[in-house]
Structure 1
């Protein structure tokens, strides 16, 4: 088991969680929300979705993986009325249609409209002596 650190992402992170863990050919990510680099949230759910997926992509790259290697997505949305908009953005990033669950939740921060986490495969490096 290997932790992916915030330092590897060159990001200020949450001190309570790791961005991801790698184990047995899989990477397990924490949730990624659609905030801007300054910590603010766009009011537009499509923009939040793009930002959240782009953050997820950075975590995957730091984990020797990519969006195309995602096997399962857990998607949280604040408002079921936003599902169509979220899906229209989502499909552009996940054309291979990984398995997915979508849950409507009440986020503690009311500015948050979407959050994604995933399980993906990663490129295991073989070392030869």
Structure 2
């Protein structure tokens, strides 16, 4: 059995233990990051949509940082949005704060009906630094 090379951000391991999943796994020079939401310290959703998106990106960035990456290393993005027709534009006003300069990563946006009380989730695949690609 292969042992997974798991990356944990500082201070959030209990959240992943309770829900029984890994925040990110390093494999073959890539970092596969689980979906991140805009949860407050107690795990509850941030009620303001744009603040929730910022928290989701901050949680994502904590995992990327723990793996020695930045958002510039992100290759592929998948976002999940509850009711995208009414929320997409407000969410996309926040994205440039974190996205960086072009060329941007690939992106798939998926409309969903439920995200455990959240309105936005983001998961990514990133390229690991050369020194950590093994």
- Name the TM-score class by shorter chain: 0.7 to 0.9
CA shift, 1:108, in A, is 4.9
TM-score between the two structures when normalised by the length of structure 1:
0.87
Once the two structures are superposed, what CA deviation does each residue of 1:58-112 show, in whole Å capped at 9, x if it has no partner?
A: 0111111111111111000001110011111112211332110000112252x30
2, 5, 11: which one pairs with 1:2?
A: 5
Structure 1 unaligned runs (5+)?
Answer: none
99, 105, 108: which one pairs with 1:101?
A: 108
CA shift, 1:2, in A, is 1.8
On the 8 A contact 2:29/2:127 being kept in 1, the answer is: yes
| Corresponding residue number in structure 2 for 1:68 | 72
**1 CA distance for matches of 2:126 and 2:119?**
23
| Corresponding residue number in structure 2 for 1:38 | 42
* Partner secondary structure for residue 40 of structure 1: coil
CA shift, 1:9, in A, is 2.6
Structure 2 unaligned runs (5+)?
Answer: none
TM-score between the two structures when normalised by the length of structure 2:
0.84
Show structure 1 runs of 4+ deviating over 3 A: none
CA distance change for structure 1 residues 55 and 82 in 2, over 3 Å: closer, same or farther?
Answer: same
Q: Identify, as 1 or 2, the structure richer in helix.
A: 2
| Corresponding residue number in structure 1 for 2:30 | 26
Q: CA RMSD in A?
A: 1.6
CA shift, 1:124, in A, is 3.3
CA shift, 1:26, in A, is 0.9
